[in-house]
Structure 1
Amino acid sequence: MEIAGDEIQSQAMDHHGLVAAVCRDLGLQEKLDAKLGAPDARRVVSAGTAVVAMILNGLGFTNRRLYLTAQFFANKPVEKLLGPGVRAEALTAHTLGQALDEIAAYGSSALFAEVAFEIAHSEGLLHRHAHLDSTSFSVHGQYDQGDEAQVIELRHGHSKDHRPDLKQVVLSLVVNGPSAMPLWMEVLDGNSSDKTSFHQSIARVEQFQRQVDLETPFKWIADSALYSQDKLLARNDYEWLTRVPETLTAAKALVQTPDEQIAWIDQPKGCRIADFESDYGGVEQRWLLVYSEQAYRREKATLERKLAQHDEQLGKALWHLGHQVFGCEADATKALQAMRKKYPLFVIDARVEPIAKHTRRGRPLAGAARLITGYRVVSEYRRDEPALARQLNAKGRFILATNLLDQQAYPNEAMLADYKDQQHAERGFRFLKDPWFMVDSIFLKSPRRIEALMMVMTFCLLVYNLAQYRLRETLKAQNETLPNQLNTPVQNPTMRWIFQLLEGISIVRIVIDPSQGLVKEIITNFSALRQKIVRFFGDTACRIYGLIPEKPANVLRM
């Protein structure tokens, strides 16, 4: 086998050309550079180009750290992806850090919102439904907070990563419409509470909408953290749909109501709904009780496992309690009450008995009195069937609430469908936390750069979701399909799968005339299916992959 010399080089195109094409079609680099100001003429890589490079890295699914970006691009056709004159060696840690600093100086949330709203407006993707959610990202190491008042604080808080030992930041995200396009991102202190931050985020988004003259208000959709008497219901000046916390007495009573007392309306896929009126917090609103057969089976199985565990634990605990000697009756009663509180789904029938003994040595005299030396608990237990029935009634159920009172304008079925779309935000967080994504933990040197990086990560989600939405809409419009993982024709493939289908596409560069710097480029491993996929993404993608030649015979100058 012959080893190729420097006159033949191979570069990995894979799916990166699609990502670059979407960024280019959206004008992402130009929009960012226009906001951040003209770069120094001596600068090879502008901030906008650096962001696109980080997006390509993030959507490369290679788990390469940002400081290895130059290494990531070492075997890629960089100029095709990022533009003429850009080389892999120019994408240094300093270059990327400088871009992150410029983003932080401008304001990460403001910059993202300005660009995202502009894209959504120009692409016709603005929708009335805004889904709000948040998640936490763990951070490692020590960080210099500095003296800047607006810098986020890395703190311990409720960790959705299940890492309470680590400090964290919280990302608040708003996604919009069927494309699940992120419109707003905000990085918050690590100990931020959704019950407060959700309302603050909504207020800031509405203020931004007024600044850019967007007249159509959003309908805000969020989980139960939005529902609060002192904030949401006290204000009640925008349209909202949220889940009612089952910690409320009225909500707990409703979800435990027996089936025969509810006028259920059957829905597809084993769901049922029933509507109620409520004036909780002094605000007239609609409550929709929802039942899911699938959720019921899952939650019932979980409850049965929990009962079996508690049954065994309680039996052992009561045995030990029965062999414990208490100094007074009050102590024994207190221990028994604690046991009942710990196992609320069991009835503990018990009594406290005194322990009487003869205190003198030897055989006691006839009629000698016994002295009480302690107390013990005698008990037996059984499952609390009425309490279990109430618990089972609540399984598979939840309550939605809205301040839109007109059922004809906003039917119950639409309420349920809109809330189910809340999974768009949740899927976005799963995407950002994918271990093959850009980072699995935040490692940058300062909170300012962390905040800027979170903006770049959200742009990755924006590009991914829009690419997926465009492809699916194109397939439907053209009545076309692509094979899924089972080789079944579908019209809703994921971009993750499309990226895998394009894996292995390479560009081979052959030096024809070194003296004149003439190079011929040939794209390889470019099957008919892969060409079909690229064509669905339009002319920009076709040019990057060579389906629309830029120069005759693909002969270029070095």
Structure 2
Amino acid sequence: MPCLAKSSLMNTPMPTPLVVGAGPVIRALCEEIGLVETVNQTVAWDAQRCHLSPGERIFALIVNLLTARQPLYRVHAQFQLTDVPLLLGSGRTAADFTDDALGRALDKVAAAGGATVFSAVATRALLHDHVWTPDNPVFVHGDRTTRSVYGTYPDPDSASGVHPTYGHSKDHRPDLRQILLTLLGTREGIPVVGTVQDGNLSDKTLNAEMIAALDDDFSPQQLQQLVYVADSALVTGPNLKAMADRSLRFLSRCPDTFRAAQEAKTAALAANAWVPLGKIGERADAF
């Protein structure tokens, strides 16, 4: 009986399959709001010297953030497993998205102002989805949270960058330094303005800075269309004056430190028109 030799194909390693996952959906959404074009119009860059535009590299970072969540130095390795031409365009390779290349794109965003670039993209999304119309007020909700960080950071007395510091930790990790993330978004869920701040700023200070930052992102006419929604930390004398100076309407809760708040509660309870529903919490002062 003749001996049957094993086929050479059996010894040939199978190529690693390339994937795109949710990338095409993310690309379609970014194309709808013109993300790449908006970034390229907002930052300073030289089209003759850049192999890829900053907007393309920022888009690649967004894809990574929403899918693989790899650190900057690992993004290109993740794209080696991705059908890059299909997802990011013909002629693109994983080598176009090294940490050096992505870092240079982030430097351009930082030079233009991260909040400025963010707001330019967000405003275009608002217009695309017809959230911003001349006849209707736009309700924007402001809130903030903390993010604990690890490691060694520059001297907090230096003038550059955001400084992770100790503060009131919403993560319940007072042993760690933190940064503050602030976001202003519409009730439709579209972010409008986002900032990163030092970790020990008070809510009252953050509201004051957010109100001032609106001048960079909205025209006086657009400010008159906004309704700024925030918690009771918004209601301070300086903040009220700053909003009045801009004809900016707001919706908030009167702080308990105001006599008017206590008088309103007393009058409401005295009306005796309430239906008891029980306590909503276990704290001693819960209603």
TM-score tier (shorter): 0.7 to 0.9
1:195 alignment partner in structure 2: 204
Q: Does 1:251 align with 2:258?
A: no
Within the candidate set 14, 31, 43, 1:36 is matched to 43
Map residues 48-59 of structure 1 onto 2, 5 A cutoff: 48-59=55-66
Within the candidate set 21, 27, 31, 1:20 is matched to 27
Counterpart contact for 2:162–2:197, Cα < 8 Å: yes
CA distance in 2, matches of 1:170, 1:85: 40
TM superposition shift of 1:7: 7.8
Aligned-partner residue type, residue 202 of structure 1: I
Give the direction of change, closer, same or farther, for the CA distance of 1:193–1:15 in structure 2 (3 Å limit): same
CA distance in 1, matches of 2:157, 2:91: 39
The structure with the largest strand share of the pair is 1
Higher RCO by CA contacts (8 Å cutoff, separation 6 or greater): 1
Q: Deviations over 1:344-368 (max 9, x none)?
A: xxxxxxxxxxxxxxxxxxxxxxxxx
Root-mean-square deviation over aligned CA pairs: 3.1
Counterpart contact for 1:13–1:77, Cα < 8 Å: yes
Q: Does 1:84 align with 2:90?
A: yes
TM superposition shift of 1:73: 1.6
1:98 alignment partner in structure 2: 104
1:220 alignment partner in structure 2: 228
Unpaired runs of 5+ in structure 2? Answer: 1-8
Q: How many residues align?
A: 273
Map residues 84-163 of structure 1 onto 2, 5 A cutoff: 84-126=90-132, 128-144=138-154, 149=159, 151-163=161-173
Aligned-partner residue type, residue 11 of structure 1: L
Counterpart contact for 2:180–2:197, Cα < 8 Å: yes
Counterpart contact for 1:128–1:216, Cα < 8 Å: no
> Taking structure 2 as the reference length, what is the TM-score of the superposition?
0.81
Counterpart contact for 1:175–1:181, Cα < 8 Å: yes
CA distance in 2, matches of 1:243, 1:260: 20
1:169 alignment partner in structure 2: 179
Counterpart contact for 1:79–1:85, Cα < 8 Å: yes
CA distance in 1, matches of 2:252, 2:146: 21
Larger radius of gyration: 1
1:205 alignment partner in structure 2: 214
Counterpart secondary structure, 2:142: strand
CA distance in 2, matches of 1:10, 1:256: 68
TM superposition shift of 1:215: 6.2
CA distance in 1, matches of 2:62, 2:241: 41
Give the direction of change, closer, same or farther, for the CA distance of 1:233–1:91 in structure 2 (3 Å limit): closer
Q: Deviations over 1:148-195 (max 9, x none)?
A: 7463233222222222222222122110142x1111112222211111
CA distance in 2, matches of 1:244, 1:90: 53
CA distance in 2, matches of 1:240, 1:153: 30
Counterpart contact for 2:145–2:182, Cα < 8 Å: yes
Q: Deviations over 1:232-268 (max 9, x none)?
A: 445552311112333445535654778563445xxxx
Counterpart contact for 1:125–1:177, Cα < 8 Å: no
Q: Deviations over 1:90-135 (max 9, x none)?
A: 2111112111111111111112112221332243222510111111
Identity of aligned residues (%): 30
2:250 alignment partner in structure 1: 240
CA distance in 2, matches of 1:201, 1:173: 9
CA distance in 2, matches of 1:17, 1:209: 32
Counterpart contact for 1:45–1:91, Cα < 8 Å: no
CA distance in 2, matches of 1:43, 1:147: 36
Counterpart contact for 2:34–2:124, Cα < 8 Å: no
